[in-house]
Structure 1
Amino acid sequence: MGELTIGAFARASRLSPKALRLYDELGLLAPARVDGTTGYRYYVEAQLPRARLVAWLRRVGMPLARIGEVCDLYETDPPAAGLVIGAYWARVETETAARRDLVTFLVDQLSGNPAGKGVEEMSEMSMSEMAMSEVRMRYAAGSDRGLVRPVNQDTAYAGARLLAVADGFGADGARASGAAVDALVALEESVRGADVLNGLADAVDRVNRGNREGGSGESGTTLTAMLWTGSRLALVHVGDTRAYLLRGGEVSRITHDHTLVQSMIDAGSLTAEEATSHPQRALLLRALDGSADHARPDLRLHDVVPGDRYLLCSDGLFTVVGPDDIRRVLTTAAEPADAVSELIALALAEGGPDNVACAVADAVTV
């Protein structure tokens, strides 16, 4: 098989010579041969499928590190590579929807036109907003050491504007989870309106820096919190603590776990049932552990309907209490405090192998 110069290979693969040199340096697409005297790169036709896959994946915006993983998988198991690409795009669409919600929120805030509509529609929206302005949160939170762990590293908080659950880990985990929640409690009175998401992002960044500068060893925390803006809930989420919504009798999870097993489920290589017994089910891909790469939170706005009930919890609850029991408690408990007490009791009845924390809030009209 004849060799192709870098120019000829660039034309055939639809990649520029500059890009090919970069991908060689990154170990993503090495040439078949490099001339020892001139340094010229030479490729072979057998490399074209990988090169074209790289070009396609770059066009959809996939990061280079992820492209390398997909290309390596493509050479051994093309269907599995296809599943990874599908999972990546599903994630992109989810994040795009969240950014779209944020753009709508910012446009509404800055334009002075709450709905971005005409005069008649603005009148209707004003009436709706007046109704929403009378929605308040009724709330409760609780945490328990469990029956196995020597200390409680979970922190739960519920207030008039804030729900938060953090699950610490490592030798300094209790401090880390407490610091994460404390940083958000400070926002209850100080941050409102369009500043809410910025405030949450800044608080998470400060907590992560604190864990990097003052933490010990491999310590850190996960965090899931919702801050009431007056018409919506602003969600911040990193790790495997979760948020659930009960609306119209149906319970749905509104966060996405940042774990290895969840990424495998997304890629189609693992089922949700298999994940529960996977040996690496607790391995986190994102957490507030001092690393900038790991601390990127999900941030979005969530529309609230009167009658909604929200549950935030650590994995000490949902790994031992099944979804049917969670739904039953959320549906039948008269008050948030009743739901918190019953959910923690269920976790303890299942052996309480981990710390457990949860916060429950009801959106009620007053």
Structure 2
Amino acid sequence: MKRRAKKPPVGVVCDTGRRRKNNEDSWLIHEPQDMTTLKTKGRLYVVADGMGGAAAGEVASCLAVQTVKERYFSRQDEAPLESLKQAILSADKTIRQQSHSVPGQSGMGTTITAVSVVGDTAYVAHVGDSRAYVIRHEQIICLTRDQTVVADLVRQGKIGIKEAESHPHRHMLTQSVGGGARPPEVYVLSYPLEPGDFLVLCTDGLYNVVSDKEIKEAVALNQDLQRAAEMLVHLANKRGGPDNITAVAVKIQDPVGAEGGLIRKGIGTAALLIILVAIVAIAYYLVVPR
């Protein structure tokens, strides 16, 4: 009998911070109830950091996460990475159309980082400077690339990391969803996962004041991921909370396999059959007289 995969442990906090009046961050976690959809499209995790006058940033980020969810799950036969990319481009089109037609929302936009976990793979699509990390054992690995003026300067070797931390243009985006005249360049990546890994998605209100090492330790050393997310946001606020703060933490368990069962690391079905055949052959050789 096929078993329904257990929902992975998660923790989420979305906080206004200490210096902002409005919270323009949005987040989404979605697990399909249909097993076929769960197998082909997986679980979806999204964070977005909106920008724009008045409440426009909040509108942009909310539109983005909802559009990505709807578009991503609408096409069962489309590969996850392509689905994520097209979902973000659909969100960009939706936001730009609304910004042109609704007074007070002109020029609104958002960052977005979306991760779908399908089987034992994380599929990542990203625009802007929100981030996705994988924590494995003693390592924390950033899966995304900040699309900012300063990040480009660092990659080009024109400035160092220390200089980037205090650069006056460190928050200036080179790509955004809905904020430009042209569709954004969506950064995509697939990454193999192992049971016991952690995924962390966050906006810059967290990582600008909390180090990667602190993120790793709070998540990996805490049995309660909700408590871990709360600790990280509390730490960001303790350091001034200069921006909205969103943290999503997920623990990867045994991923759903292609046949609806569970993929487990170690001996697979084919390897087990080979071992059984070998045992039978050895037994036959030892028992049958020569």
Tell whether the structures are fold-level matches, with TM greater than 0.5: yes
Q: 1:167, 1:196 → 2: CA distance?
A: 23
- Residue 191 of structure 2 aligns to a residue in which SS? strand
Matched, 1:163 2:57: no
Note if contact 1:180-1:223 (Cα within 8 Å) is conserved in structure 2.
yes
- Deviation per CA, 1:4-28, whole angstroms, max 9, x where unpaired? xxxxxxxxxxxxxxxxxxxxxxxxx
C-alpha contact (below 8 Å) 1:158/1:360 kept by paired residues: no
Distance 1:348 1:193, change over 3 A: farther
- Does the alignment pair 1:300 with 2:189? yes
Q: Distance in 1 between matches of 2:131 and 2:233?
A: 15
Cα deviation for residue 284 of structure 1 reads 0.4
Q: Give the ranges of 4+ consecutive aligned residues of structure 1 lying more than 6 Å apart after TM superposition.
A: none
**Greater mean deviation of Cα atoms: 143-152 or 210-219:** 210-219
1:339 deviates by 1.7
Instruction: Please state whether the residue corresponding to 1:186 is helix, strand or coil.
Output: helix
Tell me by how many angstroms 1:183 deviates. 1.7
In the TM superposition, what whole-angstrom CA distance separates every residue of 1:183-225 from its partner, at most 9, and x where no partner exists? 2333575455653223212221121112211122331000001
Q: Does 1:275 align with 2:157?
A: no
Aligned to 2:282: none
Structure 1 CA distance for aligned equivalents of residues 178 and 74 of structure 2: 26
Q: Mean alpha-carbon deviation: is it higher for 308-317 or for 155-164? A: 155-164
| SS class of match (2:9) | strand
Counterpart pick for 1:219 among 103, 108, 115: 108
Which residue number in structure 2 is paired with residue 199 of structure 1?
Answer: 83
The reply on whether 1:150 has 2:32 as its aligned counterpart is no
Contact 1:155 1:165 in 2 (8 A): yes
Give CA deviations for 1:61-116 in whole Å, capped at 9, x if unaligned. xxxxxxxxxxxxxxxxxxxxxxxxxxxxxxxxxxxxxxxxxxxxxxxxxxxxxxxx
SS in 1 for 2:215: helix
Pairing partner for 1:179 from 49, 63, 67:
63
Q: Give the distance between the partners of 1:288 and 1:264, measured in 2 at CA.
A: 22
Q: 1:223 to 1:210 in 2, by over 3 A?
A: same
Q: Which residue number corresponds to residue 208 of structure 2?
A: 319
1:344 lines up with 2:233 in the alignment: yes
Partners of 1:262 and 1:200 in 2: how far apart? 23
Deviation at residue 277 of structure 1 after TM alignment: 0.6
> 1:291 deviation in Å?
2.9
Give the structure 1 partner of residue 219 of structure 2.
Answer: 330
Please state how far the C-alpha of 1:159 moved relative to its aligned partner.
3.3
**1:138 aligns to 2:138 (yes or no):** no
- TM-score normalised to the size of structure 1? 0.60
Question: TM-score when scaled to structure 2?
Answer: 0.75
- Larger deviation: 332-341 or 262-271? 332-341
Give the letter for the 2:91 counterpart: V
Gaps of 5+ in 1: 1-129
Inter-partner Cα distance in structure 2 for 1:291 and 1:188 = 22
| Offset from partner CA, 1:306-345 (integer Å, 9 cap, x none) | 1110101000000011223212102212132122111111
Q: Larger relative CO (CA 8 A, sep 6+): 1 or 2? A: 2
**1:210-241 C-alpha deviation (Å, 9 max, x unpaired):** 22111223310000010122332211101000
Kept in 2: contact 1:169–1:221 (CA 8 A): yes
In structure 2, the partner of 1:353 is: 242
Give the whole-Å Cα distance in 1 for the aligned partners of 2:45 and 2:235: 21
